Every structure is written in structure tokens, then in C-alpha cells.
């Protein structure tokens, strides 16, 4: 254990009306489950799950939540659902979240991430119940010059690939709506920039751990593009706890609205090769091979986040080391593959995390 996070408390979340976008995705499904454990009244807005299998589907239907299928690029449909839900807290996770997919579908990426967020924030102008918005972006919003120092919240925004550029543009949309409309209306709006997230239940394409799980469970070697690429990896519960801590603080102190980095301690930033080594097992098939990168799209080689603001302002500290995060992630996939119930596996991880007081 690396430290102690300000853990979510049921006495705050119980009965809160929460609108969660992107609840059918990997992080969204984990967050929906956690919020319901805390007693929140959650309404979900999202597209159908993008993968098969999906964690959202494996979590089952009872007890579950009102779930609405809506493309956030549809401003009118989103506004209608927002008015009906009358949320007090909005947690915005809906996004096109894959770098390589953004090269293939740039207009979808910009439309979903930039205009979808603008539609959400604009709809809130007519919802007088709302008090807090936490909009999730990414660690990739910074103009990455491959400098070996962690990026801070006031460093320049930018983005080489369409995904990173769309999220940097989303940050400008968030700041504009906060300054022009929502802040003066009493709605505290913050953005959360989280690092690379791992955990059980992610079956997305072109993500390291899901790719490893698919390959090794099928008896194939994992193909690696950039073994030296370095990222701020963390277990999925770490940023989710950060989102919840940020929302809670904004409820009492709206002046804290702004941008927050969420990630591991700087010494825990690790290369793809190190994560693969931690994920592999001497007792199971876990071979690796290397792709020719000459014709591959650009991907940043080094990225880390400075999280001092989250530590000092929100009281957020990483709880699990990288080794612990990878161990728990791979144990989740092994158990689920062997027939264990996904909901029980998630609840067990959440309970272990909540015990870190």
C-alpha cells in the first residue's frame, strides 16, 4: 500500500441523484456499481456496450439502475434526459476513448468528445438541481514534448493524435462553460485528467492488459508495439475514488472547481515492458512478440502526471502500488475466465479498497 485516499463515504452519497454518462463502458460500469453500493440514485446515459463481452452486461440487471441509450452528440435527446433525471451531481465519462481508433474515426472522436461534452454542459444550463459536474478527460491532454518531468495542470494543452487533441479541446470547452455560464449559476465544474487505467472487465481493443488477456487465454503471444513507452498506470478504483472525492469536495467548496490530475506516484510510472513482466506468470502461457512499428501511427513515448494538487487539495493518495494493481487485475481475469461472477469479483476489489482507511 502506497498511501491513503479520501475514500467515498455512504453518508455523503446516500440518496444523491447522480447522472453518470458512459456507464456501459469499462470505467463507467465500475463507477455505477460503486455508486450504488454507496446508496446513490444513479441514472445512466450511454451508447450500448462497445465490446463483447462487456463488464456492464456481466454485472447483471438486479439490482441495477435506470439506463438510457443516447448518443451525446444528439443535443436534444440529451437535454430531455437531463431534465427528466434532475441530477444533483453529474459524472461525465462518455467518450471515444481509444487513441488508435481516433486515427481511424477522427470526426466521431471530435464529435463525441468535444461537442458531446458541450451538449452536456449546455443542457445543464436549464437544470436548476445540478450543483457539481466532474468531466473526465485524460492524461493525454498535454502538449507532450517527451520531457522527462510530470505534467502539471497549468502546462500547455495539445495533442498529436485526434484523441489527445479532442480531449485537449474538451478541456477548453469545460473551462469556457464554467467561466461563462455554470460557475455563476452555482454549478461547480471540474475536469479530471487520469492516467492509464487497468482493472478487471476491460475488453477494449488496443489496450495493453486486455490485449494480453485475449492473447494468453487463446494460447497466442502478445504483440507489443512500444515496449519502452512509459505511462502512469493505475488500478481503475484509484481514479474513480478521485472522481468521487472531487465531487464531494466541490459540493461543499465550489471555489475548488478547475482541472485535477489523478495518477500514481511519480516513481510508479512504468514502461509497457515492465507492466507486461508484472502481468505474466511463470505458471501460465504468457509469451510476447514485438511488432514492426515503422508503419504505425504516432504514439507518445513518455508521459507522467504531477498529482500534488489532488493530494493537497482533495486529500487523494494512491492506495495500491503498480505491482498490486497488476496482480489484482490479472487475478480478476483468471477468476472470471474460470467461471467466477464478475459482480462478485468487482465487489470484492471495492471492499478491499474501501478497507484501506
Continuous segment of H or E residues that includes residue 92: strand 89-92
Q: What does the DSSP assignment read for 299-322?
A: --SB--B--HHIIIII-----S-H
3 state DSSP class of 153: coil
- Rounded Cα distance between 140 and 151, Å, is 10
- pLDDT on residue 2: 43
Q: What is the pLDDT along the chain (357 residues), one digit of tens a residue?
A: 344 457 889 999 999 999 999 999 999 999 999 999 999 999 999 999 999 999 999 998 665 789 999 999 999 999 999 999 999 999 999 999 988 899 999 999 999 999 999 999 999 999 999 999 999 999 999 998 887 789 999 999 999 999 999 999 999 999 999 999 999 999 999 999 998 999 999 999 989 999 999 999 999 999 998 899 999 999 999 999 999 999 999 999 999 999 999 999 988 999 999 999 999 998 899 999 987 665 667 666 789 999 999 999 999 999 999 999 999 999 999 999 999 999 999 999 999 999 985
- Given CA atoms 65, 66, 71, 74 in this order, what sign does their dihedral have? negative
Contacts for 212 with CB less than 8 Å, ≥ 6 apart? 222, 276, 279, 286
Q: What does the DSSP assignment read for 185-221?
A: TT-EEEEEEE--EE-TT---TT-HHHHHHHHHHTT-P
Rg (C-alpha) for the chain, rounded Å, is 19
Cell of 200: 478487471
Q: No. of H helices and E strands in the chain?
A: 14, 13
Interval 199-236: pLDDT, tens: 999 999 989 999 999 999 999 999 998 899 999 999 99
Q: Report the interhelical angle of 272-279 vs 208-217 (nearest 10°).
A: 40
Which residues share a beta bridge with 136?
A: 192
Q: What are phi and psi of 154, to 5 degrees?
A: -100, 10
Cell of 65: 439502475
Closest to 232 (Cα-Cα) out of 278, 207, 280, 197? 197
Contacts for 255 with CB less than 8 Å, ≥ 6 apart? 188
- Rounded Cα distance between 69 and 91, Å, is 16
What are the Cα distances from residue 284, in Å, to 36, 133, 287?
Answer: 36, 44, 9
- Rounded Cα distance between 53 and 257, Å, is 37
- pLDDT on residue 3: 44
Helix then strand then coil, in percent of the chain rounded to 5, is 45, 15, 40
- Rounded Cα distance between 91 and 124, Å, is 12
Cβ–Cβ under 8 Å, residues 279 and 326? yes
Give the strand pairing for 17-21 and 89-92: parallel
- Rounded Cα distance between 71 and 61, Å, is 22
3 state DSSP class of 64: coil
- pLDDT on residue 302: 82
- pLDDT on residue 20: 98
CA atoms within 13 A on the CB side of 192: 28
- pLDDT on residue 266: 86
Domains of the chain: 10-195+234-265+304-321 (3.40.50.720)
Torsion of CA 310, 315, 318, 319, to 10 degrees: -170
Amino acid at each position: 500500500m502506497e498511501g491513503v485516499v479520501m475514500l467515498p463515504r455512504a453518508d455523503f452519497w446516500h440518496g444523491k441523484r447522480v447522472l453518470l454518462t458512459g456507464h456501459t463502458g469499462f470505467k463507467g460500469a465500475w463507477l455505477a456499481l460503486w455508486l450504488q453500493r454507496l446508496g446513490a440514485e444513479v441514472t445512466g446515459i450511454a451508447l450500448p456496450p462497445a465490446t463483447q463481452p462487456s463488464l456492464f452486461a456481466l454485472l447483471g440487471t438486479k439490482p441495477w439502475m435506470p439506463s438510457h441509450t443516447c448518443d451525446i452528440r444528439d443535443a436534444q435527446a440529451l437535454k430531455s434526459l437531463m431534465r427528466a433525471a434532475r441530477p444533483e451531481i453529474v459524472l461525465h465519462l462518455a467518450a471515444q476513448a481509444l487513441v488508435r481508433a481516433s486515427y481511424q474515426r477522427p470526426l466521431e472522436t471530435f464529435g463525441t468528445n468535444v461537442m458531446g461534452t458541450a451538449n452536456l454542459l449546455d443542457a445543464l444550463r436549464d437544470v436548476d438541481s445540478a450543483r457539481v459536474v466532474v468531466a473526465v478527460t485524460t492524461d493525454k491532454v498535454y502538449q507532450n514534448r517527451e520531457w522527462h518531468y510530470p505534467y502539471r495542470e497549468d502546462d500547455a494543452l495539445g495533442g498529436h493524435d485526434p484523441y489527445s487533441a479532442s480531449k485537449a479541446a474538451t478541456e477548453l470547452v469545460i473551462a469556457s462553460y464554467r467561466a461563462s455560464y455554470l460557475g455563476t449559476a452555482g454549478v461547480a465544474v471540474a475536469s479530471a485528467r487520469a492516467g492509464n487505467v487497468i482493472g478487471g472487465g476491460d475488453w477494449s481493443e488496443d489496450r495493453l492488459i486486455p490485449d494480453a488477456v485475449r492473447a494468453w487465454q487463446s494460447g497466442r503471444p502478445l504483440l507489443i508495439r512500444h515496449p519502452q513507452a512509459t505511462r502512469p498506470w493505475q488500478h481503475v478504483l484509484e481514479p474513480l475514488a478521485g472522481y468521487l472525492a472531487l465531487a464531494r469536495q466541490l459540493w461543499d467548496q465550489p471555489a475548488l472547481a478547475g482541472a485535477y490530475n489523478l495518477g500514481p506516484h511519480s516513481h510508479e510510472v512504468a514502461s509497457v515492458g515492465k507492466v507486461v513482466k508484472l502481468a505474466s506468470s511463470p505458471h501460465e502461457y504468457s509469451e510476447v512478440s514485438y511488432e514492426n512499428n515503422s508503419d504505425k501511427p504516432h504514439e507518445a513515448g513518455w508521459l507522467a502526471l504531477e498529482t500534488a494538487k489532488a493530494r493537497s487539495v482533495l486529500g487523494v493518495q494512491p492506495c495500491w502500488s503498480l505491482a498490486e494493481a497488476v496482480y489484482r487485475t490479472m487475478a480478476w481475469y483468471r477468476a472470471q475466465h474460470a467461471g467466477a461472477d464478475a459482480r462478485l469479483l468487482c465487489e470484492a476489489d471495492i471492499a478491499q479498497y474501501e478497507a484501506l482507511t
